[in-house]
């Protein structure tokens, strides 16, 4: 009796017209026209036309189909209800809205379980997490998508793309939790933020008040950052077992933090041979308000190799210690400070201009024997002949 009392089924509330017919197998079929309204627990299903197979518990809705639930709606061109499966199958321009969670999901086809409130969307599914206080939304697309109302969890598979302002991510699977603002990217995830990018085995995103606050990359982490100067563009690469990117409230990159087998490479694109490198167990890269690298701190068996350019020449500084801190000015390393078991050396290197000058001087200073004989005076030649 308890099980029967909890049983919920579709109930016809009203329709402008109801024509009943009998099929060949004795099935009663109702043709409902005009303002058709069915009830299911706390849900109301409306359409302009419906065909109802009563004994089978199957209803086919068409023409302005609309499902209204507590703070949720779902619309489509056509919907079929199956009593045995307790589900609605929506076909054509399906749109699901969860106003409480600020979620909108669209697609060509959707399967919605009325009891578990579990939605499966196929055919160019499109997920949006919107907020009236934000200037943009979290936009997710893929091949197949599921949304659990009870778990507040969206899972997207195959060719997944997440877009939020300047952030664009790609992966083969993504899991998004609207309540906590967390997104997990799996299977070859890639992140692009303006001209910067991050790669790794797995990526986790954290949104706070609909703003990106943190990006964490685990496993074979690789970060790529470009600093566009007036004369040249500097390319910074950061490698490590894990990599975290922190964002400021204004939406710019505030800092990068890498752990485990960390390696940093920093070089201008026009002078790739002048690569500066740093190694260690941990590394922190801080940026200023102009999105330029402000300082780099490395600790844990730290080592740095930096190219130094001065008016009287250039050289390479190779040093190691417990920790290394490098300060930057106008995109160039301005100061290197080391502490704890410091050791290293400075090796001066010839500049490119001096190399060219030396090579040119060698050619001028060593003329051939023929040229020397041509320049010998006639009197001296007679004396040599005698």
The answer to whether 237 and 273 have CB atoms below 8 angstroms apart is no
CA angle 154, 159, 160 (to 5 degrees): 35
pLDDT by residue (tens digit) across 128-144?
Answer: 887 655 567 888 999 99
Q: How many CB atoms lie within 10 A of CB 30?
A: 16
d(CA 319, CA 326): 12
What is the pLDDT, as a whole number, of residue 77?
A: 94
- Check if the beta carbon of residue 331 is closer than 8 Å to that of residue 325: no
Partners of residue 140 on adjacent β-strands:
127, 162
Region class of 116: left (phi > 0), else alpha (psi between -120 and 50), else beta: alpha
Query: What does 12-71 look like in DSSP terms, one character per residue?
Result: EEE-SEEEEEE-TTS-EEEEEEEEEEEEETTEEEEEEEEEEETTTTEEEEEEEEEEEETT
pLDDT value at position 306? Answer: 77
**pLDDT at residue 26 tops 80:** no
* Residue in 93, 172, 100 with CA at minimum distance from that of residue 125: 93
Residue 288 has a pLDDT of 81
Q: Is the pLDDT of residue 175 over 70?
A: yes
Which pLDDT score is estimated for 134?
57
93, 77 Cβ separation under 8 angstroms: yes
Using DSSP's 3-state secondary structure scheme, residue 356 falls into helix
pLDDT tens-digit readout, 201-220: 999 998 887 778 888 998 88
Specify the higher pLDDT residue, 124 or 248.
124
Can you tell me the mean pLDDT for 162-170? Answer: 87
| pLDDT band at residue 4 under the 50/70/90 scheme | very low
User: pLDDT-based confidence at 57, cuts 50/70/90?
Assistant: confident
For 372, the 3-state DSSP assignment is helix
Q: Please, which pLDDT band fits residue 363 given cuts at 50, 70 and 90?
A: very low
Question: If you average pLDDT over every residue of the chain, what do you get?
Answer: 81
Helix and strand tally (H, E) in the chain? 4, 26
Cα dist from 119 to 39, 82, 109, 158, whole Å: 19, 15, 10, 17
- Residue 358 in this model has a pLDDT that exceeds 60: no
3-state class percentages of the chain: helix first, strand second, coil last, to nearest 5 = 10, 65, 25
Residue with tokens 């992966």: 171
Q: Give me the mean pLDDT over the 158-180 stretch.
A: 89
pLDDT confidence of residue 8:
66
Token pair 């009663």 in the structure block, residue: 28
Q: Number of C-alpha atoms within 13 angstroms, CB side, residue 38? A: 26
Name which of 306, 346, 340 is nearest 326 in CA terms: 306
Whether the pLDDT of residue 2 is over 50: the answer is no
34 has pLDDT over 50: yes
Model's pTM, two decimal places?
0.72
- Helix residue ranges, H only, the chain: 2-6, 352-365, 369-374, 378-385
The conformation of residue 317, written as its DSSP 8-state character, comes to E
pLDDT tens track for 224-264: 877 776 676 778 888 888 988 888 877 778 888 899 888 88
pLDDT score at 142: 93
CA distances from 204 to 181, 186, 196, 244 (A): 11, 9, 17, 9
The rounded percent of the chain whose pLDDT value lies above 70 is 83
Section 114-127 average pLDDT: 91
Of 149, 144, 157, residue with least CA distance to 96: 149
Q: Residue 72, CB half-sphere, CA atoms under 13 Å: how many?
A: 22
Domains located in the chain, CATH noted: 7-180 (2.60.450.10), 189-386 (2.60.450.10)
């Amino acid at each position: 009796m308890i099980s029967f009392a909890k049983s919920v089924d579709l109930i016809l509330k009203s329709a402008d017209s109801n024509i009943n017919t009998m099929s060949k197998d004795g099935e009663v079929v109702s043709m409902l026209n005009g303002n058709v309204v069915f009830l299911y627990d706390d849900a109301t299903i409306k359409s302009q036309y419906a065909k109802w197979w009563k004994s089978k518990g199957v209803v086919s809705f068409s023409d302005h189909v609309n499902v209204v639930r507590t703070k949720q709606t779902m619309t489509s061109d056509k919907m079929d209800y199956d009593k045995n499966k307790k589900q609605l199958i929506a076909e054509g321009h399906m749109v699901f809205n969860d106003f409480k969670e600020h979620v909108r999901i669209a697609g060509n086809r959707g399967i919605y379980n009325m009891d578990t409130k579990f939605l499966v969307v196929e055919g160019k599914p499109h997920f949006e997490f919107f907020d009236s206080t934000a200037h943009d939304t979290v936009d997710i697309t893929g091949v197949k998508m599921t949304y659990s109302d009870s778990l507040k969890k969206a899972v997207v598979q195959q060719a997944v793309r997440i877009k939020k302002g300047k952030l664009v991510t790609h992966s083969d699977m993504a899991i998004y939790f609207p309540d906590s603002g967390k997104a997990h990217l799996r299977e070859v995830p890639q992140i692009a933020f303006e001209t910067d990018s991050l790669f790794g085995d797995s990526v986790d995103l954290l949104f706070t008040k609909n703003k990106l606050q943190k990006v964490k990359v685990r496993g074979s982490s690789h970060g790529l950052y470009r600093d566009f100067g007036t004369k040249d563009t500097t390319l910074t690469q950061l490698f490590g077992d894990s990599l975290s990117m922190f964002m400021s409230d204004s939406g710019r990159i505030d800092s990068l933090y890498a752990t485990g087998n960390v390696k940093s490479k920093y070089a201008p694109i026009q002078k790739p041979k002048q690569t500066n490198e740093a190694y260690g167990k941990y590394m922190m890269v801080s940026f200023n308000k102009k999105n330029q690298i402000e300082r780099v701190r490395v600790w844990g068996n730290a080592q740095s190799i930096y190219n130094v350019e001065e008016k009287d020449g250039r050289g390479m500084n190779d040093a190691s210690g417990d920790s290394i801190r490098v300060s930057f000015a106008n995109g160039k390393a301005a100061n290197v400070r080391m502490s704890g078991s410091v050791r290293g050396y400075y090796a001066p290197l010839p500049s490119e201009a001096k190399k060219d000058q030396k090579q040119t001087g060698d050619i001028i200073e060593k003329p051939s024997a023929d040229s020397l004989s041509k320049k010998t005076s006639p009197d001296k030649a007679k004396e040599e002949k005698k």
